[in-house]
Amino acid sequence: MVDKIFEKSIKKQFEFDEDVASVFDDMLNRSIPFYKQMQELTIDFALNYLKEADTVYDLGCSTASTLIELGKQSNVDLNLVGIDNSSAMLSRASKKCKAFGIDIKLKNEDLLDTSYDDAKLVISNYTLQFIRPLQREKLIKKIHDSLKDDGIFIFSEKVISSNKVLNKQCIDTYYDFKKKQGYSEFEISQKREALENVLIPYTDDENKKMILDAGFSHCEVLFKWVNFATFIAIK
């Protein structure tokens, strides 16, 4: 279904409710530049590290498209776990898993309350940005401590620049991208307002610092388009 959520006047904050879930795959494809390529990279790099019976967690799995694709492409059996606290997202995820015949354990839990036992790989694409900064630092520490010694964390985030002028240029370039995807100026500005204080982006350096402070030995950017970046961290 086509995302028309912000065509009408909306006064509430952005929420992952039934309305958003029903158009979510379209929303992501049209709102996150190179979303498909970013997902393919996540899977390509994940497959570099995964062996038979490894456990993979996807934090903020939404409609489970990344885990389904990982399950399809893996030559070994994996223990796939998707976590999200939106029932609307998970009911779609569950239907898609059945339709594709991929076995994924879907957990309706807050990321901050979940345990990540036996994790070889943790994925979290475009989700940490919705966790408040203090909690975010704690969550990263928990992810680090739960990962096996050779564990990997792959995550993507909307990012900002610490240079004000460049940051404004990045935002303008992103809004041009959205216009080219068919969103009107009204939809773009309504969504921007709804995301205010809900989506809290860090700079690349802040993301890397958060990762290294949690104890990871290495972190780098795998992919970046203007203000959207994918990172890989090695325990």
Ligand X SMILES: O=C(O)C(=O)Cc1ccccc1
Ligand Y SMILES: Nc1ncnc2c1ncn2[C@@H]1O[C@H](C[S@+](CC[C@H]([NH3+])C(=O)[O-])CC(=O)[O-])[C@@H](O)[C@H]1O
Q: Which residues bind ligand Y (CB under 6 A)?
A: 16, 28, 60-62, 65-66, 83-86, 89, 110-111, 125-127, 130-131
Taking CB under 6 A as the criterion, the residue among 41, 195, 226, 234 binding ligand X is 195
Q: Is 39 in the site for ligand X (CB under 6 A)?
A: no
Collapse the DSSP code of 109 into the 3-class scheme (helix H, G, I; strand E, B; otherwise coil) and give the result. Answer: coil
Other beta carbons less than 10 A from residue 122's beta carbon: 25
H-run or E-run covering 143: helix 133-146
Binding mask 45-64 toward ligand X (x if CB under 6 A, else -) reads: --------------------
Q: Give least dist CB 35 to ligand Y, A.
A: 7
Q: How far apart are CA 182 and CA 105, in angstroms?
A: 35
* Residue 49 phi, psi dihedral angles, 5° rounding: -110, -15
* Residue 159 phi, psi dihedral angles, 5° rounding: -125, 165
Task: Decide which of ligand X, ligand Y, none touches 191; Cβ closer than 5 to 8 Å per partner kind.
Answer: ligand X
Q: Is 27 in the site for ligand X (CB under 6 A)?
A: yes
Q: Can you spell out the DSSP letters for 63-92?
A: T-HHHHHHHHH-SS--EEEEEES-HHHHHH
Taking CB under 6 A as the criterion, the residue among 92, 120, 136, 191 binding ligand X is 191
Taking CB under 6 A as the criterion, the residue among 31, 42, 62, 127 binding ligand X is 31
**Residue ranges that bind ligand X, judged by CB under 6 A:** 27-28, 31-32, 158, 191-192, 195, 199
